[in-house]
């Protein structure tokens, strides 16, 4: 039987559900990244580092809730915190003590978080940080990096995927991009020139601190430090989008991990323990633009307007507190970072053992694979970042996922996220599955 036939047989019920879902949702899915051919698997429960499909097949999970579940699925502390909160009410339409506790934890952990504002998602957090930067500086231009992802609001769809020339979405007027500049990562000269020409117009530079697409295109050593200095010199705010890295790389996120201070930081995912939630943090003088003010010069409400029905909702707050209480001591980050190093080594051995051209790499508890490339030996080599985003999707991507799922592992061809509860056995089984997958794809003529 071919790979696709085996997949269709093993995950038959998922296929049936997908056929029905295609009559309800565009492409049958509810998030672009969950789409795969001939159909994605349907999951009915999850625990720790594992999840089970509707057919009852166990999978080792490297999606970990799109990077939000640092403690794995259904950690007992989160289960009891959220269950207790459901009984007490899910939305008070009022302030509540847990939002305060949650905010205090964020303040305690995140460097420079003099003030915190909760949102409902990472997309909302980056939207807020950008608008705050524009309001604070009185400037319009936002600089982002090619390959960096900051959610799906209008201006951040610029320069996400190769060749970075058109936005990631239809439906956005061209004028929206008049005040956005897409910079190539790792080229400080480009930014020096840009700032020399129009530094007075630039409100902020926003970036994923480990590099674009959760670290697929890493920054070379020293780049972040140079950028920090450049921003300071030109009065430009530096925004760290820590939606993935926050509370993951270290309790204080990328700022702590790289020892660099950002002016504003955006969070989501781990922040809310896997429930919907985001936040922006920063100095009082910027964040207080959201505060009520008597200054009549500002605008109708004299403030940065920020409603949002689900901001700091009690369920997310309960999960977030339970998560951050665990994160605080640093053990989850240490465990997940160490496990990721082990996995990366194993994946690289599999590349070698099978003779497939490619390599695995990563930072903290995030890992990536670059198929078809070789020659990246040190971090300095990532100066050549463009080929790293040229993941051969389409037939290769679908076949990779099918083969890995057949081997009991749910992993994207571009990598994934680990939690603090991925065990040595999980890692060994995953490395074995990866090696088998490379051999299968060679046999199918999909990989050389
Ligand atoms: C770096 C980064 N920023 C922003 C977002 C958007 O967050 P959300 O999906 O919560 O809107 C994501 C989502 O994956 C992300 O990875």
List, for residues 79-88, the tens digit of each pLDDT value. Answer: 999 999 999 9
* Candidate of 219, 240, 243 to mutate for ligand 1, largest count of ligand atoms within 8 Å of Cβ: 243
Residue 151 forms part of a structural domain: yes
pTM to 2 decimals? Answer: 0.97
- Single out the residue in 304, 327, 350 at which a domain terminates: 327
Pocket of ligand 1 (CB under 6 A): 66, 121-123, 126, 149-151, 208, 214, 241, 243-244, 268
163 lies in the same domain as 304: yes
The answer, yes or no, to whether residue 391 has pLDDT greater than 80, is: no
Strands (E) in 37-173, as ranges, are 43-47, 50-53, 58-61, 115-119, 141-145
- Specify burial of residue 375 (Cβ count, 10 A radius: 0-12, 13-18, 19+): exposed
Q: Are 149 and 197 in contact, with CB atoms under 8 Å apart?
A: no
184 lies in the same domain as 231: yes
| Helix or strand holding residue 99 (H, E) | helix 97-109
Residues 63-73: tens digit of each pLDDT: 999 999 999 99
Q: How far apart are CA 257 and CA 241, in angstroms?
A: 14
- Single out the residue in 286, 302, 327 at which a domain terminates: 327
For the chain, the average pLDDT equals 96
User: What is residue 299's predicted lDDT score, i.e. its pLDDT?
Assistant: 67
Q: How far apart are CA 183 and CA 145, in angstroms?
A: 5
Residue 127 forms part of a structural domain: yes
User: What is residue 390's predicted lDDT score, i.e. its pLDDT?
Assistant: 87
Instruction: Give the distance (Å) from ligand 1 centre to CA of residue 250.
Output: 18
Residues 84-142: tens digit of each pLDDT: 999 999 999 999 999 999 999 999 999 999 999 999 999 999 999 999 999 999 999 99
Question: 418: domain CATH number?
Answer: 3.90.1150.10
Neighbour count for residue 208 (Cβ, 10 Å): 28
Residue 233 forms part of a structural domain: yes
* Candidate of 269, 280, 310, 368 to mutate for ligand 1, largest count of ligand atoms within 8 Å of Cβ: 269
Q: How far apart are CA 158 and CA 168, in angstroms?
A: 6
88 lies in the same domain as 209: yes
Protein residue whose Cα sits closest to atom 7 of ligand 1 = 122
Residues 227-250: tens digit of each pLDDT: 999 999 999 999 999 999 999 999
User: What is residue 423's predicted lDDT score, i.e. its pLDDT?
Assistant: 98
Question: 87: domain CATH number?
Answer: 3.40.640.10
Q: Are 269 and 73 in contact, with CB atoms under 8 Å apart?
A: no
Q: What is the Cα gyration radius of the chain?
A: 22
151 lies in the same domain as 228: yes
Q: Is the four-CA dihedral 407, 412, 415, 419 of positive or negative sign?
A: negative
16 lies in the same domain as 47: yes
Instruction: Give the distance (Å) from ligand 1 centre to CA of residue 148.
Output: 10
Q: In this prediction, what percent of the chain has a pLDDT beyond 70? A: 98
Query: Which position has the token pair 């939000």?
Result: 68
- pLDDT band for position 300 (cuts 50, 70, 90): low
358 lies in the same domain as 406: yes
314 lies in the same domain as 439: no
User: What is residue 375's predicted lDDT score, i.e. its pLDDT?
Assistant: 86
The answer, yes or no, to whether residue 393 has pLDDT greater than 80, is: no
Q: How far apart are CA 139 and CA 344, in angstroms?
A: 43
Residues 371-383: tens digit of each pLDDT: 999 989 899 999 9
Residue 271 forms part of a structural domain: yes
User: What is residue 199's predicted lDDT score, i.e. its pLDDT?
Assistant: 87
Residue 305 forms part of a structural domain: yes
- Single out the residue in 280, 302, 327 at which a domain terminates: 327
The stretch 425-446 carries a mean pLDDT of 96
Hey, is 266 helix, strand or coil? Answer: strand
Residue 250 forms part of a structural domain: yes
Q: Are 381 and 375 in contact, with CB atoms under 8 Å apart?
A: yes
Q: How far apart are CA 358 and CA 374, in angstroms?
A: 5
Residues 149-205: tens digit of each pLDDT: 999 999 999 999 999 999 999 999 999 999 999 999 999 999 999 999 998 999 999
373 lies in the same domain as 399: yes
Q: Are 399 and 444 in contact, with CB atoms under 8 Å apart?
A: yes
Q: Which domain holds residue 100?
A: 76-327
User: What is residue 275's predicted lDDT score, i.e. its pLDDT?
Assistant: 98
The stretch 242-260 carries a mean pLDDT of 98
- pLDDT band for position 18 (cuts 50, 70, 90): very high
The answer, yes or no, to whether residue 294 has pLDDT greater than 90, is: no
Q: Is the four-CA dihedral 254, 309, 315, 274 of positive or negative sign?
A: negative
The answer, yes or no, to whether residue 298 has pLDDT greater than 80, is: no
Structural domain count, the chain:
2
249 lies in the same domain as 111: yes
The answer, yes or no, to whether residue 262 has pLDDT greater than 90, is: yes
Strands (E) in 216-314, as ranges, are 237-241, 264-267, 278-282
Eight-state DSSP code of residue 51:
E
Residue 448 forms part of a structural domain: no
310 lies in the same domain as 384: no
Hey, is 139 helix, strand or coil? Answer: coil
Q: Are 276 and 120 in contact, with CB atoms under 8 Å apart?
A: yes
Protein residue whose Cα sits closest to atom 8 of ligand 1 = 122
Instruction: Give the distance (Å) from ligand 1 centre to CA of residue 214.
Output: 9
Q: Is the four-CA dihedral 48, 50, 52, 53 of positive or negative sign?
A: positive
49 lies in the same domain as 99: no
Protein residue whose Cα sits closest to atom 5 of ligand 1 = 151
Residue 231 forms part of a structural domain: yes
Query: Which position has the token pair 């992802």?
Result: 149
389 lies in the same domain as 425: yes
Residue 396 vs residues 2, 103, 400, 406, 442: alpha-carbon distances, Å:
14, 44, 6, 15, 11
Q: Are 63 and 274 in contact, with CB atoms under 8 Å apart?
A: no
Strands (E) in 373-445, as ranges, are 409-410, 416-417
- Specify burial of residue 114 (Cβ count, 10 A radius: 0-12, 13-18, 19+): middle
Ligand 1 atom with the smallest distance to the CA of 278 is 10
């Amino acid at each position: 039987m071919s790979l696709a036939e085996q997949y269709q047989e093993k995950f038959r019920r998922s296929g049936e559900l997908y056929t029905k879902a295609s009559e309800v949702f565009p492409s049958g899915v509810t998030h672009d990244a969950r789409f795969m051919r001939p159909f994605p698997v349907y999951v009915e429960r999850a625990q720790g580092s594992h999840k089970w499909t509707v057919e009852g097949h166990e999978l080792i999970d490297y999606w970990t809730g799109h990077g939000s579940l640092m403690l794995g699925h259904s950690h007992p502390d989160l289960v009891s915190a959220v269950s207790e909160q459901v009984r007490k009410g899910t939305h008070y339409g009022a302030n509540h003590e847990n939002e305060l506790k949650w905010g205090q934890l964020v303040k305690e952990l995140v460097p420079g978080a003099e003030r915190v504002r909760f949102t409902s998602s990472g997309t909302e957090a980056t939207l807020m940080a950008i608008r705050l930067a524009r309001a604070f500086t009185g400037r319009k231009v936002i600089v982002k990096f090619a390959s960096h992802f900051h959610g799906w609001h209008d201006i951040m769809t610029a320069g996400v995927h190769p060749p970075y020339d058109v936005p990631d979405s239809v439906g956005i007027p061209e004028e929206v991009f008049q005040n956005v500049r897409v910079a190539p990562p790792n080229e400080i000269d480009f930014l020096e020139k840009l700032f020399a020409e129009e530094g007075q117009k630039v409100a902020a530079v926003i970036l994923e601190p480990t590099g674009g697409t959760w670290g697929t295109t890493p920054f070379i050593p020293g780049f972040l430090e140079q950028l920090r200095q450049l921003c300071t010199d030109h009065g430009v705010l530096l925004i760290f989008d820590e939606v993935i890295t926050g509370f993951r790389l270290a309790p204080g996120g990328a700022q702590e991990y790289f020892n660099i201070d950002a002016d504003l930081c955006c969070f989501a995912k781990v922040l809310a323990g896997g429930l919907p939630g985001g936040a922006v943090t920063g100095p009082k003088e910027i964040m207080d633009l959201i505060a009520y003010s008597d200054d009549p010069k500002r605008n109708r409400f004299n403030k940065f307007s920020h409603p949002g029905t689900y901001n700091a909702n009690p369920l997310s707050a309960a999960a977030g507190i339970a998560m951050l209480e665990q994160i605080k001591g640093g053990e989850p980050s240490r465990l997940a970072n160490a496990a990721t190093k082990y996995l990366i080594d194993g994946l690289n051995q599999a590349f070698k053992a099978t003779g497939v051209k490619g390599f695995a790499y990563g930072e903290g508890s995030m890992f990536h694979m670059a198929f078809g490339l070789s020659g990246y030996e040190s971090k300095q080599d990532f100066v050549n970042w463009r080929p790293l985003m040229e993941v051969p999707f389409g037939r290769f991507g679908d076949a990779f996922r099918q083969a890995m799922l057949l081997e009991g592992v749910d992993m994207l061809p571009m990598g994934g996220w680990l939690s603090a509860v991925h065990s040595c056995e999980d890692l060994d089984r995953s490395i074995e599955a990866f090696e088998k997958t490379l051999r299968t794809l060679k046999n199918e003529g999909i990989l050389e």
